[in-house]
Structure formats: structure tokens, C-alpha cells
Structure 1
Amino acid sequence: MTDISVTLGSKDRQKQSALAMISVFTLAILLSAVLLFSVQPMFTKLVLPLLGGSSNVWNTAMVFFQAVLLLGYIYAHVITKYLPLKAQIIIHMAVLGLGCFFLPLSIAQGWTPPDGGAQSLWLIGLFGISVGAPFFAISANAPLLQRWFSRVDHKDAQDPYFLYAASNAGSLLSLLLYPIVFEPALRVGEQTALWAVGYGLLMVIIVGAGITAFRNQATVTSQTTEQETSRGVVTINRRLFWIFLAFIPSSLMLGVTSHMTNNIASTPFLWVMPLALYLLTFVIAFAKNPPIGSKHLGYVAAFAIMASLFFGFYYKANVLLSIGVSLSAYFIISLACHSRLVEDRPNTSHLTEFYIWMSVGGVLGGMFNALLAPVVFNGIYEYLIVLILSYLVVLRVSKIESVSFSLKGKLLALTLGTAVIALVLTVIGQPAKVAIIAAGCAFFFGLRMLTQASPRVLVMDISLVFGLALLLPGLALPKLFQDRSFFSLLTVKAEASEYGTVHKFIHGDTVHNYQLQDDGLSTVPLAYYAADNSFDIGMQFARSLTPQGDLSVAMIGLGAGAMACYERPTDNWTYYEIDQAVVDMARNPKYFSYIQDCSYGSDIVTGDARLKIGDLAPKSQDYIVVDAFSSNSIPAHLVTREAFALYRSRLKDTGVVFFHTSNRMLDVDSLVIRLAEDAGLSARHFFKNDFDGEPYQDFQSTSSAVMIGTEAQMSALSNFDARWTVMTPSEDVALWSDDYSNVVATMRAKSRLKAEKAAREAAVTATQK
């Protein structure tokens, strides 16, 4: 009886010991991941005021973090391979201790961004000096702790890869909590202080994990299973395959991020969505029992690629639909890649090496998008290229080699597929593409039959051919000019109109300006700057506030330069444009001649306005115009309390500030009105979307604007033009500052405004009936 009790007690103690062992390692890896992936959006947000809120700030940051992650994996590999466990623990605690000297996290002093090129290299250097040490120390934890766990006497020690799922679950939790909890509730200073506390707690837990590993080392045996032996053979081809499988999701992640931030807002809330999905694929793929295998994912991924090509590139009438489809396709493709990666994992003796090659693929994917593509391509083509490359992964992942189709079957499938696509194109008004698709499919399948290529699933072939047939003709459309920079994609197109040729400026995916090219019409401002629109009325009022009507104007944002047609010879205008590529385009009369034809030699200052406008003398400006919103994104650092304080310090006592607030996705109006309230000033709102009967109505743009000044000035503005009215800001939108913003609230507010407007229109329609 006593023996049975002792045995049972011993088993209970063993279970408790095993549970405690796995708990301390899981907790250490989980907290490491939370800290690792919270520092990315948090510190990148700190850098935004220096580089204008460009989505490339996030992409470049991702390259830095991926590179440091790789260095951490290499460090973990070296010390676990060449040092005994006790030495590993001591060295790693010293490395973690070194990171304490950089806490709390902050931007290194004395770093000013370059006005010309090399923003990416400058940003990488800033990240390295500011957060490199603590991030490096934490980045090594996932592979290092897994390797330590593989050496203990635990039943799961021989296959510790499931701990990587815990790591990515912690990363995912961090990314989801940041925009929902931490960003809206805590200022950046409070976030960095909390992060420092978490870092200290992590050091304590890792000491516990190290002691646990040291005390519970298993006896090393030479017995290996047949599966472990086959998994232990690591060849060059196998390493290259790991790199390729990691490259595809990493590159797609940054491609989707650029698409989203160029069309909504350049903020951590939107940056973390693709990264969160990326981490979720790791959680699913590295789980002990994944819910879906790579073979089945191969089927779904074929449709995902086609959907992404169609809705992500060709048919983008609905931005939210395009983003939703792009994110879904990216998730499916990434899950297929990572599932195949996990299936090909080696045994624990190569664990750290496996993570190194996986990280190499991630770094190469990031470098391709953030560093190489902007230099090599004049358009955003890397996303398309990697989507096509992912088709190769689908073929490999699906493992279907024995399916064979007769010539009749192929022709029948081709005919049916072409008919379906033709119907879709006809419905959306593109019947001319049918002939191109049919010719492409016939050529593709004809070539396959002539060469007797190994058969694959036919739907995959059709997906690729149809997708490219839809896309390539659009890419081949003539463009007068196309360029990309660190900040955006610029395109100029020429079109025919009833007034002759018109040039169209497209910033990202949004048309920002037009210019008629015929003599006598080239000095007519259009789009938002057309006569009787917000900018025109605002300029008239600003002139009415000065005795002679001469103005000193600080114009934030240049675009095509149409606002120059409002200059007078006795004015003093200074333009601020962060993107040198935009300046070069606006100054080239081959594309737009507004600057040449209208401006009176005004200064154009290249650089971020938050940094450059401080060079103006205090109380020197009559009028400050903030019109720097590219596509539908918001450079958040230009609409904060600190930014507005800078504007006011450069205004004369009689000066006013004009904000161009047009945006489809975010309630910028309420945001700007909150700035006025905080400063003890008044604001008036202007909106115009009806141009019937006006000259050049096809080339005018819906405009929303907010003017800020004293109450006396704003009352005079309403009397000057009754369309400038008092607007009550949304209760959802709070004041933004350099260490606080909440994009979710501005999106929610805009959604409610749209719903209320739709309800009012429906009520009017019902009344009329």
C-alpha cells in the first residue's frame, strides 16, 4: 500500500515538474514575443514626425527588425552549438542586461533626416542606435529557449517547435492589443515605461527558465528514430527551399501594407493588420495539430492568387473590398508557405539553423520590397511579381503530379473558363478584354500540350492566365510619367477632353490634380483648387484680412502646383514638399506648367514641414495651408496639438490656418476642429460636391476644408461665404498629440457620418415619392 502511494506521489510530482517546466518556458517565450512585437509599432510611431508618415517608414522598420531578428537567431545558433548550457545562460543574461542601458526606449538625440535621398539607410541607422540592443537581446529568445527546452527530460523535448506557436501567439496578442488598448489608452511615454517594466520581468523569467534547463538536463543518448534521421539531413537545396518559402509571405506582407496605407492612413493601426495575419499563419502552422494541411491549402491558394490579381490590381472601385480580398489572399498564400515550411522542419539538432534560414528568407523579402524595389522599379510592381512567384509555391505545395487531362477536357475547361470571365467583364463594362484573355489562354495551353509539360491542376493554370490577362493590358497603358520614391508612387497621364488634352496627376491610387494643356487654359486651376471651391474661397478671405491684400503664405504640400495660380507679384509664398520626386515633377513643364506659368519665383523647400517650417520667423505668416494628404492617408504628425502650436507661432495675430480635409475613410474634419477647441480658437467647415453647370465641371473635385482663427475672424468668414458653417465634431474623435492618436475612432466617426447621410437621403427620397 505504501509502495503504491509512493509511486502515485512520485508520478504526481513528475507531472507537476513537467507542467512547471513547460510553463516557465512558454511564459518566457510568450512575454518575449509580446515585447518584441510591441516595440515595432510603438517606436515606429515615435519616428513618424521625422519622415512624414510614409508607409515606407513601416516597411523600412520591418526590414530593420527582420535583420536584427536574423542576427539574434545567428547568435542563438552559435552559443548553443559551441558553448555548454551554463555558459549560454550567463552570456545571454549579460546580453539582456546590456539592453537595460537603452531603456526607456526613445529616439536617439542629434539625428535629423536627410532632405534628399537615403531616407531608408538613415532610418535603419536611427533604429539601430535607439532600439537595436534590447531588440537584439529579445530576438534570440525564441530559438534559444526552444533549444534549451530540447535538452531537458520532458516528453515533448524532442520536438519543441510547438513553442514557436506560443511565441507567435504572444506576438499576435501584442499586435492586436496595441491598436485596440495601448495606442488609444496610453501616451507613447507611458507605453515605453510599461515596456521597460516588461523587459525587467522577462529577465527574471529567463533566469528561471535557464535554471530549470540546467537542473533538468536529460541524459544524451545515441538512439534516433528513422523519422528523425531523415529530418536531420539538411542539404543546400533544402535550405534554399526554406528561404524561398519564408521570402514569399514576408514580401507579400509589405506589399499589402503599402496598398493599405496608401489608401487609408499611415498609422500603426493599419500597419499591424498584415503583420498580425502573418503571425497568425505561424501560430496555425506550428501548432501540434494544424487544422489544415498544406495540400488542401494548395487548392485554395490558386483561387486566392487570382482574386488578389483581380481585386487588388485591376478592379479597385471599392477600396475596402480591394483591401479585404488582398488581405485574405495574402493570408491563405502565407499559410500555405508556412505550413509547407513546418512540414519540412529538421530535427532539434538543426533547430537554430532552421530558424536562421527561415529568417534569411524573411529579411530578403523585406529588403526586396523596402530597399531594392524602390530603386529598381519606377512603379509598385514587387507585389505583382511575388504573387506570381507564389504560384510556384502553390504547385509545389499541392503535390499533385498524377492528374491528367485529355485535349478535349482542356479545351472544354478553357472554353467554360473564358465564358465565365467574359461574362464578368461584360457585366463590369470591359468586354474588350475577352479577346485578350482567350488568346492568352489558347497560347498558354497550346504551349503546354506541345512541350508535354507535367500536368497540374487545371484551375491553377487558368487562375494565373486569367489574372495576368486582366492585369497586363492595364499595366501597359501609356503614361507620361511614373516614378516612385520613399514616400509614394507618382503617375502623370494624358487624356483627351472637350477642352483638348488634359494631364492628370495621380498620387498613389488617388487623382489629385488636372491641367488643361491648350493655350489660354493652362493657368486655370482645377480639382480642389478650381474657382469657387474651398481653396479659392479661403484665399479670397485671407486676402480680405490684410490691408493691401498681399500675403505671406506657408503652403504645406505642393502636388502639381495648381495653387501657384493664386499667387500675386507682391506675395511671399513658401512651399513645403517632403518628396523631391514631386518637386521635380511639378517643375517640369512637360507634365505640369503651373509653377512655370503662375509662380513669381516662390521658394520650394524640400523636407518635412514639421521640421522646416520652424525656420520661418515667428509671427511672419498671414496664411498657413495644410494640404499634404497623399491618396487617402493622413500624415498624423501634421494634425497634432504640437504641430498646430508650431503653425500658430509662425502666424501673425491676424493670420488664419486652412486645412484641406477631404478623405473617404477618416473623419479629418472633427480631428482638425478639436485642434481649434484645444487652442481656444474657432473653426468653420466647408464642403462642396456639386459642380453642375460650372466651367470644367468634369475636372473639379469634391472638397472638404476647415479654417481656424479667432471667433471674430470665423464669423466674418461665414458672412463672407455662407457655405463656411459651424460643424460639431464627432464625439468619437479626441484631440491628437505627438504621443497619442486613435485612427479607429476617426474611421468609426466617418462610418457613422456616411450612415447618417444615407439615412437622410433615403428619408428625402421617401418623402418625394
Structure 2
Amino acid sequence: MIARYILPWFGGVPAVWSTVQMFFQILLTAGYAYADWVSKPGYKRERWHILLLCLSVIGVLMLSVFWRSPITPSSDWKPSPEAIPVLEIVKLLMISVGLPYFLLASNSPLVQAWFHRLFPTQTAYRLYAISNIGSLLGLVSYPLLVEPLFTLPVQGWMWSIGYLCYVGFALWGTIKALQHRSATVIYPEIEASDRPIRLSWSDRLLWIGLAATASLFLLATTARITQEIAVVPFLWVLPLTIYLLSFIITFANERYYNRNIFLGIFIFSFLAVIWAVIGLATIPIIIQITIYSLCLFAVCMICHGELYRLRPQQSQLTTFYLLVSVGGALGGIFVTFVAPVIFKGYWEYPLGLVLAWLLFFLTTFHRSETGLKWQRLMLWAGLICAGFLMYLFISLDLESSVLLQRNFYAATRIKVLEPTNESSQRYVLVHGMTLHGVQYLDPEKRKLPTAYYSETSGVGLAINHHPRRRNGMRVGVLGLGIGTLAAYGLPDDVYRFYEINPDVIEIALGKGGYFSYLQDSSATIEVVLGDARLSLERELQESGSQNYHVLVLDVFSSDSIPVYLLNREAFALYLDHLAPDGIIAVHISNRHLDLVPVVWKLADHFSLHRLLIDDEGDNERAIRSRWFLLSRDESLLSIPELTTRARNMNGYTTSLPLWTDDYSNLLQIMR
């Protein structure tokens, strides 16, 4: 919720989500460390907890006076252009939700420690399963109920009221725990047997390793199925649901985790993954998703089941949870920050399988268990298979690509289509399942616009038939790709591209000699590195309107559409940069999202004339595409070359609410 709120302030790039994620992961670890400190015997540290709870309430009440809600900062807190984004994000999160989240993070281990103190004959670990049920309910209810029904400020108030209710219960529980610390021991024989046993470093390292492997494999599986298998909105919810379910099952009762059964499931799914990787192009998507989901379930059940099997006595559960959170953070840090630097593709997936297999047998041999010969053979057989899978991932990626690279933003690759046909041979730039551009190698076809941008596409028609076509045009493009639209450039034109990914810019500018649209163009080419909305805001503030005759929005073809570029505030900015005789061309080709009602509602709000143009393409040079053309000037869209190609939208209406920075709902537009 808070990440969605500040997203437009920092451009909505993956770095925002990653920074927010790591902030909460680190604060979760800090909360667990704090819980471990509070629960230790000795000085009545619960008093500090009461103080912090009261301070958090004061903070919530004070912020509610100055902000739209206690956790949604006012516009005065927007970062300046010179600010360091990561530091600004951390500052905003610390001020808005830092202390409340810190206390919420400490709640689960603290409650379990106090439960054990009050009821030493009962197991407290089941409470961890219950807390994960709450997490799962929150995960599912937010996109299905909360986000579609309430704006972000209202969500902020709902959360704040819920937090104040939590503080009331937490104060009551803390006072009870404080009173019981001084009370007479009810079960002296249990207290004596439950005195802390010194934890070995092997136990500690296994806890961290198992938690890190499950976290790493969760993120690796999410990337695999959402970027390489199926580009479907909300598909990321499936892996996270499986991850939480494994915690719920394993920590609910020890008998729910049968080592032999889940080893068998792991081996079966492991081999199925190898089959899926080899036959990627021929296996139905639903079967692939099922295979990867089953493998994730097996890995998480093994990691979390072994964690529960290796759990310490209940008097040391806060230390246990602290090290589990450290492991989870390390897994996330590796995938988010380390893997993009050391890997060219999403190769942490087979690495996660190697680690899971290795850790399973390490825990089998642990604590003086017999290291049977068959177990050692299984260990080496599994490592060999996992190594083979890693070889498959790397070799298939490298063999199918002439260029493969990865950075913080994405893994991009360049492929060759029809390499044996000289007239049809062409390079394509792809990210996961999303196509970003196609260019022929044949010199006679090399300068032709292709894919979604051919002469018969909506954007091609808008540029070619604009009244200023021969008199010098200013064209702005949000999303560079390989720079295909530069093929329309004439000597007096200026084409200005906005792109967040520096690797994409290097490729479009000619790195490796694969694409040459920018170099071949007769127009003046300008490329702006950075988020498009932030860049446009900065330009408007510093130098005024860019006065674009055509402004192209080409960032909505994948499932992860940047909604902050398709709402009221964004379109108000686009219109500020549009010339009086300007056209906004919005590319809305999307297999899973129907963006027509979203753009239609925006056009209604700003009283824009509109045309919807569908181009069937020719399946080689031109790809099927859908474009919305919008303008203040009706005459620009009334020429026969456009109207004859436009879809008849007479009588079309939509009840979809207007999207804003405070409200958007992808569920309503899913096909």
C-alpha cells in the first residue's frame, strides 16, 4: 500500500519496489532481534515495549493532522530532482510506517514467547502458522477487495485504525506478560527442564541456510513463471501463496511434514522441471506453471519442514525466528542485488535447486543421524542432476541468443529469426515474453518500421498523416525499445525518447551492431535516461512544454503495466507537453488486459477526441497491434486516412472509475 502510494514520486521503476521490499525485510529482522531482546530473562524489558507502543500511537495521531492519512505523506514530501532516490524512499518509509511496522514485526515472536511463559505445557510454534494464515489472507484480500474498493488515503485510514486497535490488544498482552514475569512459577519442573541449551553454530547456520534457500527459490520461481513462461497479471500471487502455505502446514503440526513423501515429490518435480526446460516451446503453459509450482511447493515444504524439525526448545524460539528472518533477508538480497550482477539470465533458479538438495541431505546427516550409503548416493545423484539443470538453463539461454545481459531492471536478450533466410533474417529484442523491437538484416528492409510500428499501425498513420509531416515535427516517445519509430524521422524532425533501462539505450544506440534505427534516422535523435513521468515533470518545471506534435506512449504491452503512466495525473502532464495540433498515440496491445475503458475514461475526463485503430499486420514485418489516438483538435483525427481505419466505437460507454494516483484496479480490466 505505501509502496503504491509513493510509486509515482520515484518513477515506478523496479528499484522502488526492491528498495521498499528490502526496507521491510531489514526492519522485519530488526523487529525479530528486538523481540529476542525483550523476551530474555532479567530486567523487565516489557516496559520498553509499552513505551514504544505509546510513542507509535502519538506518531500516528500527529501525522494524521498534517497528512491525508497517517501513513500517506503529503505532496510537500515529494523528493527534489537532486535527491538520492534510495535515501528518500527510506526516509519516507521510516517516518510514515517505520515504528509501527517495527512493532508489528516483533509481535509474532513476542506473543509466542509470552504464550510459552504463560502456558509452558503447550506448543507456541503453532501460533507462527496462524500468523502466516493472516499474512495469506492479507495477500489475497488486498488485490481482490481492498484495492478495488478504496482509494489509497482511505486505505491508509483503515490501516491506521486497525493499527490503533492492535496497539490496544498489544498493551494488554504486554502488561499481562510483565505481571507474569514477577509471578510465582506455576510449573517448576517444566521450567527447570526448559532452561536454555547452548545452540550450536551448525544449527544456526542450517536455520539461516534453509530460510535463505526458500526465499531465494520463491523469488527465482516468481521470475521464471512471470517473465519466461506466462505474462499474466497477478500470477506472482501464486508462488507467494505456496510459500506461505508451506509455513502454515509445517508449523501447524510436525506430522504434516513427511520427509520421505516430500523428497519423492521433490525428485519428481525436479525431473519434470528438466523436461519443461528442454521442451519449453511445445509444453502447454498451464502444465509448465503446474510443474514449477509443484517444485516450489516441494522445496518450500522441505526447507520449512526441516526448519521446524530442527527448531530449538521454546525458550529459544525468538533467537530461532531471528535467524530465520536473517536467512530470508539474505535470500532476497542475493536475488535482488547480487544475481543481476553475476548472472546474465535468471540462473538463480537452478542454483536454488542445488542448495535445496544439498541442505536436505545436510539436515539428514545432522545431529548424529546415520549417513547411510543410499543417502550419500542420492546426494551426489541430486547434485549431478541439479548441475545438469543449471547447464541446461545457461546453454539454452546462450544458444538461443546472440546477446544476453541482465541488470537491475531486466534481463534482455537479442535473438535471430529465420537465420538461414537472407531476405527475412532479422534481429529481435525481447524481455521475457515481451517483444521490444524487430529489425531486418537485409539492407533493403533495414530502415523499414516493423512490429507494432508499421505504416498501417495507429502510430504510423498518426505520424505519416499529421499536417506538419513535411514541416518539421517534434515527436516524444515513452519507451525506447530499439528505436523503431525513428525510421519515420525526416531531416527537420526531432525524436525524443524516454527510457529507464541503460542497457536498452546502449543496444538501441548500436551496441554489438544489431540495431541501427537511431543511427539511420534522418531526424535529430535525443534519448533521455530516466523514468518518463519524472523526466517530463522535470522538463516542464525547468524549460516548459516540449510541444510535441505526436506523443507516443509505448509502455503497456506487458502484464506489469506502469499504471502511474496511465492515469489522470499522468495525462494532465502529457497534455502540458502537447502542442495545440498534437496527438497522443497510446499503444494498448495486451493479451491479458483490456485497456480500452481506461483510456476512454481518461479521454472523457479531458474532453479529448479519440480513434481506436486495430492493425492486423502481415505476421512478418507488421505485428497485430491496437492504438488509441487522442487529440484536443478534432480535425486532426477527421482525415479519411485515419477514420477509414478506425474501429466504430459509436455508443461505447464504460462504468470503469477514472484511474488516478490514488486509485487503479487491474482486476476490472482483465480479459
What is residue 511 of structure 1 aligned with on the other side?
A: 435
Equivalent of 1:584 in 506, 509, 514:
506
What is residue 188 of structure 1 aligned with on the other side?
A: 152
What is residue 104 of structure 2 aligned with on the other side?
A: 138
- Residue correspondence of structure 1 range 531-680 to structure 2 within 5 A: 531-541=455-465, 543-544=466-467, 546=468, 549-588=471-510, 590-614=513-537, 615-616=539-540, 617-618=544-545, 620-629=547-556, 631-680=558-607
Distance in 2, matches of 1:261 and 1:624, equals 30
The percentage of counterpart residues that share the same residue type is 31
Distance in 1, matches of 2:275 and 2:463, equals 43
Equivalent of 1:295 in 241, 244, 260:
260
- 1:166 correspondence with 2:135: no
Deviation at 1:557, TM superposition (A): 1.0
What is residue 201 of structure 2 aligned with on the other side?
A: 236
What is residue 53 of structure 2 aligned with on the other side?
A: 93
Distance in 2, matches of 1:121 and 1:270, equals 31
- Residue correspondence of structure 1 range 738-749 to structure 2 within 5 A: 738-747=661-670
Structure 1, residues 251-283: CA drift from partner, whole Å, max 9, x if none?
Answer: 12222333455477797x555443333222212
In the alignment, residue 48 of structure 1 is paired with which amino acid? L
Structure 1, residues 309-368: CA drift from partner, whole Å, max 9, x if none?
Answer: 554786166555544443342233212211111111111221110011101100000100
Paired residues of 1:99 and 1:137 also in contact (CA < 8 A): no
Deviation at 1:638, TM superposition (A): 1.0
Deviation at 1:739, TM superposition (A): 1.4
Distance in 2, matches of 1:314 and 1:388, equals 21
Deviation at 1:73, TM superposition (A): 0.7
SS in 1 for 2:256: coil
Select between 530-539 and 463-472 the one with higher mean Cα deviation: 463-472
Using a 3 Å threshold, how does the CA distance of structure 1 residues 92 and 123 change in structure 2: closer, same or farther? closer
What is residue 44 of structure 2 aligned with on the other side?
A: 84
Equivalent of 1:285 in 250, 270, 283:
250
SS in 2 for 1:603: strand
Deviation at 1:581, TM superposition (A): 1.8
- Residue correspondence of structure 1 range 257-268 to structure 2 within 5 A: 257-259=222-224, 262=227
Distance in 1, matches of 2:226 and 2:87, equals 21
In the alignment, residue 563 of structure 2 is paired with which amino acid? A
Using a 3 Å threshold, how does the CA distance of structure 1 residues 732 and 480 change in structure 2: closer, same or farther? farther
What is residue 39 of structure 1 aligned with on the other side?
A: none
What is residue 67 of structure 2 aligned with on the other side?
A: none
Using a 3 Å threshold, how does the CA distance of structure 1 residues 470 and 490 change in structure 2: closer, same or farther? closer
Distance in 2, matches of 1:599 and 1:226, equals 85
- Residue correspondence of structure 1 range 435-584 to structure 2 within 5 A: 454-456=376-378, 464=386, 467=389, 470-477=392-399, 479-495=401-417, 496=419, 497-499=421-423, 501-541=425-465, 543-544=466-467, 546=468, 549-584=471-506
Deviation at 1:558, TM superposition (A): 0.8
In the alignment, residue 406 of structure 2 is paired with which amino acid? R
Using a 3 Å threshold, how does the CA distance of structure 1 residues 499 and 742 change in structure 2: closer, same or farther? same
Using a 3 Å threshold, how does the CA distance of structure 1 residues 534 and 476 change in structure 2: closer, same or farther? same
Paired residues of 1:309 and 1:468 also in contact (CA < 8 A): no
Distance in 1, matches of 2:261 and 2:425, equals 52
What is residue 71 of structure 1 aligned with on the other side?
A: 30
In the alignment, residue 602 of structure 2 is paired with which amino acid? L
Distance in 2, matches of 1:125 and 1:274, equals 30
Equivalent of 2:323 in 351, 357, 382:
357
SS in 1 for 2:638: helix
Deviation at 1:668, TM superposition (A): 2.1
Q: Name the count of aligned residue pairs.
A: 648
- 1:256 correspondence with 2:221: yes
Distance in 1, matches of 2:303 and 2:522, equals 54
What is residue 437 of structure 1 aligned with on the other side?
A: none
Distance in 2, matches of 1:573 and 1:493, equals 26
Using a 3 Å threshold, how does the CA distance of structure 1 residues 404 and 147 change in structure 2: closer, same or farther? closer
Paired residues of 2:232 and 2:592 also in contact (CA < 8 A): no
Using a 3 Å threshold, how does the CA distance of structure 1 residues 306 and 96 change in structure 2: closer, same or farther? farther
Paired residues of 1:403 and 1:456 also in contact (CA < 8 A): no
Using a 3 Å threshold, how does the CA distance of structure 1 residues 86 and 638 change in structure 2: closer, same or farther? closer
TM, length-normalised to structure 2: 0.87
Structure 1, residues 486-512: CA drift from partner, whole Å, max 9, x if none?
Answer: 222211234523327532211233232
Distance in 1, matches of 2:385 and 2:204, equals 29
Using a 3 Å threshold, how does the CA distance of structure 1 residues 265 and 635 change in structure 2: closer, same or farther? farther
What is residue 609 of structure 2 aligned with on the other side?
A: 682
In structure 2, stretches of 5+ residues that fail to align are 65-69
Deviation at 1:458, TM superposition (A): 10
Distance in 2, matches of 1:67 and 1:313, equals 38
Using a 3 Å threshold, how does the CA distance of structure 1 residues 288 and 673 change in structure 2: closer, same or farther? same
In the alignment, residue 293 of structure 1 is paired with which amino acid? N
In the alignment, residue 84 of structure 1 is paired with which amino acid? K
What is residue 48 of structure 1 aligned with on the other side?
A: 7
Paired residues of 1:303 and 1:460 also in contact (CA < 8 A): no
Equivalent of 2:115 in 142, 149, 153:
149
Using a 3 Å threshold, how does the CA distance of structure 1 residues 516 and 51 change in structure 2: closer, same or farther? farther
Select between 458-467 and 250-259 the one with higher mean Cα deviation: 458-467
Paired residues of 1:102 and 1:134 also in contact (CA < 8 A): no
Paired residues of 2:458 and 2:585 also in contact (CA < 8 A): no
In the alignment, residue 254 of structure 1 is paired with which amino acid? L
In the alignment, residue 75 of structure 1 is paired with which amino acid? Y
Select between 675-684 and 242-251 the one with higher mean Cα deviation: 675-684
Paired residues of 1:403 and 1:457 also in contact (CA < 8 A): no
Using a 3 Å threshold, how does the CA distance of structure 1 residues 462 and 714 change in structure 2: closer, same or farther? farther
In the alignment, residue 572 of structure 1 is paired with which amino acid? V
Distance in 1, matches of 2:121 and 2:48, equals 23
Structure 1, residues 640-679: CA drift from partner, whole Å, max 9, x if none?
Answer: 1211121122222322210111111211233222221232
Paired residues of 2:584 and 2:631 also in contact (CA < 8 A): yes
Deviation at 1:129, TM superposition (A): 4.7
Distance in 2, matches of 1:128 and 1:371, equals 22
Deviation at 1:193, TM superposition (A): 1.1
In the alignment, residue 358 of structure 1 is paired with which amino acid? V
Select between 467-476 and 290-299 the one with higher mean Cα deviation: 467-476
Distance in 2, matches of 1:745 and 1:313, equals 36
Distance in 1, matches of 2:654 and 2:254, equals 46
SS in 1 for 2:404: strand
Paired residues of 1:56 and 1:258 also in contact (CA < 8 A): no
Distance in 1, matches of 2:653 and 2:131, equals 39
Using a 3 Å threshold, how does the CA distance of structure 1 residues 240 and 300 change in structure 2: closer, same or farther? same
SS in 1 for 2:472: coil
